[in-house]
Amino acid sequence: MTKARFESIGAYIPNKRVSTEELTANMNIPPQFDLEAITGIKTRSWKEDKDDSYTMAIDAANSCLENSKYEAADLDIIISCSIARFVGDCSYYEPPMSLFLKHKLGAHKAIFFDVSNACAGMFSGLYILESMIKAGIVKNGLVVSGEYISTIAETAVLEAKDIYDPQFGSLTVGDAGAAVILDKAVDDNDVIDCFNLISTPEYSDLAIGKPSNDSNRYAMYASNSKMHTEERLKIWPNFQIDMLAKEGKDFKSEQFDYIIHHQVGSKFVERLLKVGKEAFSAEQPESLNVLEKYGNTSSTSHFIVLYEYLKANKLKDKSKILMVPAASGFVTGFLSMSINNLAVK
| Tens-digit pLDDT profile for residues 78-90 | 999 999 999 988 8
Q: Between residues 32 and 5, which one has the greater pLDDT? A: 5
Specify the pLDDT at position 205.
87
Specify the pLDDT at position 90.
83
For the ranges 16-25, 64-73, 219-228, 229-238, the lowest mean pLDDT is seen at 219-228
93, pLDDT greater than 90: no
Residues 6+ apart with CB under 8 A from 183: 4, 5, 7, 70, 133, 139, 140, 141
**Phi, psi angles (nearest 5°) of residue 63:** -60, -45
Domains and CATH numbers, the chain: 4-184 (3.40.47.10), 191-339 (3.40.47.10)
CA distance 226 to 228: 6
| Tens-digit pLDDT profile for residues 249-285 | 999 999 999 999 999 999 999 999 999 999 999 999 9
201, pLDDT greater than 90: no
**Phi, psi angles (nearest 5°) of residue 149:** -110, -5
Specify the pLDDT at position 268.
95
**Strand (E) or helix (H) holding 100:** helix 97-105
Q: Is this prediction's pTM over 0.95? A: yes
122, pLDDT greater than 90: yes
Residues 299/119, Cβ–Cβ less than 8 Å: yes
The chain-wide mean pLDDT, for the chain, equals 96
124, pLDDT greater than 90: yes
Residues 257/285, Cβ–Cβ less than 8 Å: yes
CA distance 285 to 287: 6
For the ranges 91-95, 154-158, 271-275, the lowest mean pLDDT is seen at 91-95
Specify the pLDDT at position 320.
98
212, pLDDT greater than 90: yes
338, pLDDT greater than 90: yes
Specify the pLDDT at position 203.
87
Average pLDDT of the segment spanning 207-234: 90
CA distance 111 to 108: 9
Q: Between residues 32 and 260, which one has the greater pLDDT? A: 260
Residue 228: pLDDT band with limits 50, 70, 90: confident
pLDDT above 70 coverage of the chain, percent: 100
